[in-house]
């Protein structure tokens, strides 16, 4: 399998995942205060939305790369 096929498959999978999930979220730990041996940490939940046009673009680009990757030189 060459690099074009692998890149095409990755783009198609990421496009499908982004289209159906709409984004992802993650938790971020930050230190709010540190007083001697005591440390106050805060866990923040952040979310990133993936636009549908970006997901569809990745899906279409992945399909194009796959088609080009399967052509014989």
Q: Give pLDDT, residue 53.
A: 92
Range of the domain at 26: 3-70
Distance of CA 41 to the CA centre of its chain: 27
Q: Give pLDDT, residue 22.
A: 84
Into how many domains does the chain fold? 1
Q: Per-residue pLDDT tens for 18-73?
A: 888 888 888 988 888 888 888 888 999 999 898 999 999 999 999 999 888 877 66
What is the pTM for the complete model shown? Answer: 0.67
CA atoms within 13 Å, Cβ hemisphere of 59: 12
Q: How many CB atoms lie within 10 A of CB 66?
A: 17
CA atoms within 13 Å, Cβ hemisphere of 3: 0
Q: What are phi and psi of 39, to 5 degrees?
A: -135, 130
């Amino acid at each position: 399998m060459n690099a074009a096929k692998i890149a095409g498959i990755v783009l198609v999978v990421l496009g499908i995942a982004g289209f159906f999930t709409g984004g992802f979220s993650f938790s971020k730990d930050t230190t709010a205060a540190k007083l001697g041996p005591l440390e106050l940490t805060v866990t923040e939940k952040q979310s990133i939305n993936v636009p549908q046009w970006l997901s569809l673009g990745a899906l279409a680009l992945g399909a194009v790369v796959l088609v080009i990757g399967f052509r014989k030189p």
